[in-house]
Structure 1
């Protein structure tokens, strides 16, 4: 994993051009961008199935908010095909650069495009058939207000589809000390930083607050066990990205985490105890606008 992700010094960056004063909990380092690609690969199938169930299909025009390095946009691009169009928007220019490169490499650059912008000021000059996002509402100060604004960019009857985590449902069986600590560090850091750890559970409230009908919903999750599971690296890299924020908010210290050896220690614990690690369920919600 170290060869894949490289060595980068994490830092907390304050977002520029946004009315939200909170820095993004996971930061904008190159290593975090590569963690996002790892995450995207792990939950690719779960999100693809969600988008299909929400109704994303050939020829549609789709807006992906908080697109990061482009995983969800590229998934949507595969579903809409060359006759459709996907626009991904993210506040991080670095993430957008990576997304554009990946679109070119995948052959989707003609219909899957990206732009840098803030969700509270972004105003496209076109309408869409769907607005989608994954793991983005949890970081917004007023997700219902953001959704309400974005609905204005949809055609009548357009699709609103979001997939978010229910972090408190993360667990292992049997329970084990190190994994329990990791779960606590992640949840406590995100909570203390001012973000929502159970946005998956709150999605019906958010949709209602945005003036949307009660959504259809599903839940899907990733689990791992044994020596070859990727979940140990994923947990460790998540904590590597969170570490500056964890220290800033007093949730944990680098000395406690020992993040450079964390993945191997998690692996050893899991193998020794024949554990099943269940990562946070991804809760999906989708609805059509009125009209």
Structure 2
């Protein structure tokens, strides 16, 4: 049963609208530069162990960061398919990976009747309203013999201060900004929670590896501007609608929290990432 105030359909619609807006900046400033957490893309691909003749599915492919790496490993008999619910992100993915096949599709309602050798998913599992439904569909789409899933998620708040440095003050000043029960970026940042949700969909031989990357976020003003225009884009109007006093208080608290990550006047955040692999258990 969904918590009061949280509507998964409205959440998806809002997410699609947000991603259509931020996709170009997200791609140019983060994904294409393999900045911060996107240094995990190469690690995710390594964990997936993609072979030249594999059929590969990139779930919630976004602007094609993972798809691009996967496509480089495929030969003439290999196939890359990417799905995402954001038309704006898919347009960039298609341009970035011309050899791939991309479709606008909701990961909770995948419409394929083919089997894949490898399925990859970077920074999306925690945002699905029903992650078990998604994972169960991915389990069914994997080949039985040696089909493999590889998933990357962000770590806990203390491990990803890029998010928490601003979001913790936001939640203190505007506690109702996030509907109760809504997905959060740190939802599977704990290894035990990530293991549990993957196992619940029928996967076996689950392995989880932790990585910590560094993210250069610039001066505090640069970090604040970047955060508000990308990560907080969907809630920015709500934050600013509470008035200059609230915004100033949030900003001041965030700046104080950011100081411990300052080196030479610039912020260098650690960024914890978990990468899980699993196989399809036999029926």
Structure 1 segment 26-41 matched on structure 2, within 5 A: 27-40=18-31, 41=34
Q: Indicate the RMSD between aligned Cα atoms, in angstroms.
A: 3.7
Aligned to 2:96: 102
Aligned to 1:161: 150
1:20 is aligned to 2:9 = yes
Give the drift of 1:223: 1.6
Structure 1 segment 124-163 matched on structure 2, within 5 A: 124-156=112-144, 157-163=146-152
- TM-score for both structures, normalised by structure 1: 0.72
1:93 is aligned to 2:87 = yes
Give the drift of 1:127: 1.4
Change (3 A) 1:254 1:240: farther
1:184 is aligned to 2:174 = no
1:118 is aligned to 2:113 = no
Extract unaligned runs of 5+ from structure 2: 1-6
Give the drift of 1:98: 1.2
Change (3 A) 1:198 1:59: same
Change (3 A) 1:288 1:66: same
In 2, the alpha carbon distance for the partners of 1:146 and 1:116 equals: 16
- TM-score for both structures, normalised by structure 2: 0.74
Give the drift of 1:206: 1.0
Extract unaligned runs of 5+ from structure 1: 1-17, 104-108, 173-177
In 1, the alpha carbon distance for the partners of 2:59 and 2:30 equals: 17
Residue-pair matches, total: 254
Change (3 A) 1:253 1:26: farther
Aligned to 1:217: 208
Match of 1:207 among 180, 198, 214: 198
Q: Is the 8 A contact 2:212 2:270 kept in 1?
A: yes
